[in-house]
Structure 1
Amino acid sequence: MTMDKYTQPFNPKLPQTSEGVKNKNSLECYLPIRTKGNEFDWNAVIGLVLRGLLRKKIEKYSYEEFTQGCQSAFKEKLGEEGFWEVLREMYFDNKDIFSVSPELLLFRAQKGEYTAGDTRVASLFTNLLQNMRVENFDAKLNFIEREMLATLRSKMKDDSSVQASEQPYLPYLSKAFRDDLKFLASRPKYLLSEIESFLSFYGFTYTAQLSLALTDWRSGEAPAAKPLYFIMDHERASNERTHIKNHGYKLFAESAKRLYPMLTMVELLQPGDKNSAKVPLWMISKGIQESSSEHLKQDLENFAKAFRTQRKLDISLEESDSALDWLGNIMKLAIAQFSVGERFNINKKYVSEVEKYLASHFIQNRRRGGLVLVLNQDYIILLTNLVVGEKDKLRFHELIAEFKLRGIFVDRQTEQELIKFYERIGNVERMSDSGDAVYVRKTI
């Protein structure tokens, strides 16, 4: 179900008494992080994402059987036993075959090769993909590698089990993710070398932008990218740089405190049954505004009061005849329950887990400058290549606009550092001395 086909009226089965309100909060939507058990393996995550992208799986066919299958194929065609020994050492002994084509990474998405944590992290990217599909990867392979891939493909089965289960919370970022992955998929070798960095980048920028967008629900419109400022990892972060100081790590850390409280409430407010795609809070708001239900305002009010009683919250609610205002009261309660006692500590731990597992590559401690958000040179080159995409080059200001669509904002000082960096690696073209007409090219 795509977002533009969403026609479901807002009609959740909300408990109307304090006895009906569950004592525990659970989070099953929009973020893979839980309060514990968040370890995951990028190899398994990548395998699962590619399985969803290709709609293919390798089942009941082990790596050892694949090796034997390739040996048989070459024995028939080449006949020389000694030649196979060379191939086995080159491709199979250390699994170097995995660098031939992304399709080989489906071995890492076999049953027993991944954990529940891997599945949750992979689902973040599967939901960003919104069921986009790639038929296969057109890698430029030699005769030997083509034969190996043909052996594998003969054992692949169709698979539609890895599907999007959520409407996109951030449609603009979901679109950028799909466009960028399409570009990578057209260059399989580059995809193989960069897929972990690519997913790591989107895992963080999605989390950061989601945390900033959570309060932006009242209009019922899809959120736009919110300013969040990064610097290059070699730059100094002086206190005079107000964007870096106030709208960088500090802003992310503050907004991340809303993730668990608000998303657990979004979970409770879901309008459909268990098999329906989950919907974001802004879409719930839209459903309320378009609803013709006479009981909706009363149901939301009853739920808000029941929730307040069950959680023993000493907080005043705004009396109103508007169902939307009562949704506001409910979200106020969602935050309030985590401001005291044990739930306060649970949320603190949750934010710490988010930083540890999704944000650590993008946070640096600058001592006197405090914690800042950074992009290292590898991420900048990857992001630049993705943004320039199929074009020959892009004006620098267009490049910066595309960075923003991916959640990356930079101040003037970092813009100058970026241009210097591009000049050092030789992928910048100045059309005038003024610096206004600066073009940036891909590095691949």
Structure 2
Amino acid sequence: MTTDNLTLPIKAGLPQTVADKFQNKNTLSSYIPIRTQGNDFDWSSVVGLVLRGLLCKKIEKYNYQDFTADCKNNLQNKLGEEAFWSVLEDMYFTNENIFSVTPEFLLFKSQKSQDNKYTRDMRMASLFINLLQGQQIERFESNLNFLEEEFLKTLLDKTESDRDKDFQVTESPYLPYIAEAFKRDLEFLTGYPKYLLDEFERFLAFYGFAYTAQLSLSLSDWKTGEAPTAKPLYFIMDHERASSERIHIKKHGYKLFSESSFKLFPFLSMLENLQPNPEKLKKPLWQLAKDIKSSERSDLAGYIENYAKMFRHNRKLETAIPEKAETAIDWLEYALKLAEEQFRDPKTDRPGTIKKYIKAVEENMATGFVQARGRSGRVLVLTQDHIILLTNLVVGKEEKLRFHELIIGLQQRGIFVDKQTEQELIKFYERIGNVERMSDSGDAVYVRKTI
């Protein structure tokens, strides 16, 4: 879309058209998977759906029972002893141990169901499919034995190329740095299929939270028209004390995340209505601001003013209309202020709605990253499992990294730690044996990955 062709879904001088865009119910269908209800995701299904998008393969009408029967038939002539199949069946199929052989078998977890479970899980998977921005792989280089190769061949013979609209990219990245890190980390993990199988759910859950937290912190910076960069958000190891003198932990940890989460639903639902071309890739708010600033159109300010005033009238808000608003950016800022203010209006049930939404965000996207610490309140934490996974991702294809380079890599993924936690991290690495000190001073500390 060129800026000269920038359009908004509102028309000056056409009140009915404007009114048609409004509903008393706020809607949200992009940039975050959490809704006001229906957020009980099945992460094993989400993994399968992400794999389906990554491999661009599907097995819609081929069930697990038929697959087991086909594997038996295909091997019958090669086994020599028919009774041996019962051993293989116990080893691989009875308890679905085949799913731990190589990631391709998890395509079974991506199959559509008759209820709305698929739609719900697809909503979460779409977050990661959009982060991938079309990146895919042909297959995983798993170290399989002869029998496992036969099983995989049986499966792949039944797969189809997936070009379903569910797996198309629908959004430009709101956080390009998170999207790049996610693609790079997933590409790295595809080289270690067994490790990926063990960590896939944890990997997606981490990126789901890192993305959500950083998105909430970045929404206010839209006026710059520049892509967001990582905002400081502080974590501690889950065994550490969260004493009150640790200012970063107190002010720039859970409290900051929780307060910033208020903007998620208001801003993103407003952005939904302001998408320039709803049929094309959806744009982040900062990109919309950039397009508006560079547009040569003189009527954009009037369009957005009209929209904002109609929104104010529809929501029966008393927020003062700015006297000095002149530019399209000024009126967009006012529209976003209205989007927030509607959820503070005590005469409606919207304050209760936004509280439920913030709770849903924390319960579904921050699981495992929030702990209550008595008088210290809630804090953001990293478990040892998270730390090992993140260390392996940051070190990546390198043999080892200097500790300060590792810290920078964590920050690029939305994880910040203070000096006290840095020391705890080094102690942890020493305990598991993947740290190397090049001097007694501790200045030259290298960290290796564990895989």
Q: TM-score scaled to structure 1, two decimals?
A: 0.97
Shift of 1:243: 0.2
Alpha-carbon distance in 2 for matches of 1:71, 1:270? 53
Q: Which residue of 1 aligns with 2:388?
A: 381
Please tell me whether the aligned partners of residues 4 and 295 of structure 2 are also in contact (alpha carbons under 8 angstroms). Answer: no
Alpha-carbon distance in 2 for matches of 1:288, 1:87? 63
Shift of 1:290: 1.4
Structure 1, unaligned stretches of length 5 or more? none
Please tell me whether the aligned partners of residues 225 and 289 of structure 2 are also in contact (alpha carbons under 8 angstroms). Answer: yes
Matches within 5 A, 1:24-63: 24-63=25-64
Aligned residue pairs: how many? 439
Q: Which residue of 2 aligns with 1:321?
A: 326
Q: Which residue of 2 aligns with 1:156?
A: 159
Alpha-carbon distance in 1 for matches of 2:35, 2:378? 24
Go from structure 1 to structure 2 and tell me whether the alpha carbon gap of 1:19 and 1:74 turns closer, same or farther (over 3 Å shift): closer
Alpha-carbon distance in 1 for matches of 2:425, 2:442? 13
Q: TM-score scaled to structure 2, two decimals?
A: 0.95
Secondary structure of the residue aligned to 1:439 is strand
Q: Which residue of 2 aligns with 1:141?
A: 144
Tell me the amino acid that sits aligned with residue 175 of structure 1: E
Q: 2:444 aligns with which of 426, 429, 437?
A: 437
> Is 1:126 matched with 2:126?
no
Please tell me whether the aligned partners of residues 9 and 273 of structure 2 are also in contact (alpha carbons under 8 angstroms). Answer: no
Alpha-carbon distance in 2 for matches of 1:211, 1:165? 20
Structure 2, unaligned stretches of length 5 or more? none
Matches within 5 A, 1:242-257: 242-257=247-262
Secondary structure of the residue aligned to 2:380 is strand
Q: Which residue of 1 aligns with 2:193?
A: 188
Shift of 1:9: 4.3
Q: 1:10 aligns with which of 6, 9, 16?
A: 6
Secondary structure of the residue aligned to 1:131 is coil
Shift of 1:7: 6.4
Q: Which residue of 2 aligns with 1:363?
A: 370
Question: What RMSD in Å do the two structures reach over aligned CA positions?
Answer: 1.3
Shift of 1:59: 2.3
Matches within 5 A, 1:354-433: 354-433=361-440
Shift of 1:22: 2.2
Alpha-carbon distance in 2 for matches of 1:176, 1:8? 33
Alpha-carbon distance in 2 for matches of 1:15, 1:328? 19
Structure 1, residues 79-133: CA drift from partner, whole Å, max 9, x if none?
A: 3111111000100001100111100000111121842210101101111111110
Tell me the amino acid that sits aligned with residue 314 of structure 2: Q
Tell me the amino acid that sits aligned with residue 276 of structure 2: P
Shift of 1:336: 0.7
Please tell me whether the aligned partners of residues 4 and 296 of structure 2 are also in contact (alpha carbons under 8 angstroms). Answer: no
Q: 1:231 aligns with which of 223, 230, 236?
A: 236
Structure 1, residues 161-182: CA drift from partner, whole Å, max 9, x if none?
A: 2121100000000000000000
Please tell me whether the aligned partners of residues 222 and 289 of structure 2 are also in contact (alpha carbons under 8 angstroms). Answer: yes
- Higher mean C-alpha displacement, 337-346 vs 433-442: 337-346
Q: Which residue of 2 aligns with 1:81?
A: 82
Shift of 1:23: 1.8
Q: Which residue of 1 aligns with 2:312?
A: 308
Please tell me whether the aligned partners of residues 10 and 271 of structure 1 are also in contact (alpha carbons under 8 angstroms). Answer: yes
Secondary structure of the residue aligned to 1:217 is helix
Alpha-carbon distance in 1 for matches of 2:2, 2:37? 33
Q: Percent identity?
A: 58
Alpha-carbon distance in 1 for matches of 2:444, 2:306? 60
Alpha-carbon distance in 2 for matches of 1:92, 1:8? 59
Shift of 1:416: 0.3
Tell me the amino acid that sits aligned with residue 418 of structure 1: L
Tell me the amino acid that sits aligned with residue 280 of structure 2: S
Please tell me whether the aligned partners of residues 112 and 118 of structure 2 are also in contact (alpha carbons under 8 angstroms). Answer: no
Tell me the amino acid that sits aligned with residue 232 of structure 1: M
Secondary structure of the residue aligned to 1:81 is coil
Please tell me whether the aligned partners of residues 233 and 414 of structure 2 are also in contact (alpha carbons under 8 angstroms). Answer: yes
Please tell me whether the aligned partners of residues 237 and 382 of structure 2 are also in contact (alpha carbons under 8 angstroms). Answer: yes
Q: Which residue of 1 aligns with 2:302?
A: 298
Please tell me whether the aligned partners of residues 14 and 268 of structure 1 are also in contact (alpha carbons under 8 angstroms). Answer: no
Go from structure 1 to structure 2 and tell me whether the alpha carbon gap of 1:382 and 1:9 turns closer, same or farther (over 3 Å shift): farther
Structure 1, residues 308-349: CA drift from partner, whole Å, max 9, x if none?
A: 111111111323221111111111111111112311111110
Shift of 1:8: 8.2
Shift of 1:268: 0.6
Go from structure 1 to structure 2 and tell me whether the alpha carbon gap of 1:71 and 1:185 turns closer, same or farther (over 3 Å shift): same
Alpha-carbon distance in 2 for matches of 1:412, 1:152? 50
Shift of 1:78: 1.7
Structure 1, residues 3-52: CA drift from partner, whole Å, max 9, x if none?
A: xx886843112265474432221000100100011111011100100000
Please tell me whether the aligned partners of residues 58 and 156 of structure 1 are also in contact (alpha carbons under 8 angstroms). Answer: yes
Tell me the amino acid that sits aligned with residue 139 of structure 2: N
Secondary structure of the residue aligned to 2:32 is coil
- Higher mean C-alpha displacement, 104-113 vs 346-355: 104-113
Alpha-carbon distance in 1 for matches of 2:268, 2:83? 60
Alpha-carbon distance in 2 for matches of 1:26, 1:361? 28
Alpha-carbon distance in 2 for matches of 1:6, 1:395? 44
Alpha-carbon distance in 2 for matches of 1:364, 1:96? 33
Go from structure 1 to structure 2 and tell me whether the alpha carbon gap of 1:78 and 1:433 turns closer, same or farther (over 3 Å shift): same
Q: Which residue of 1 aligns with 2:290?
A: 286
Tell me the amino acid that sits aligned with residue 76 of structure 1: N
Alpha-carbon distance in 2 for matches of 1:8, 1:261? 28
Matches within 5 A, 1:155-234: 155-161=158-164, 162-234=167-239
Shift of 1:405: 0.5
Alpha-carbon distance in 1 for matches of 2:418, 2:138? 41
Secondary structure of the residue aligned to 2:416 is coil
Secondary structure of the residue aligned to 2:289 is helix
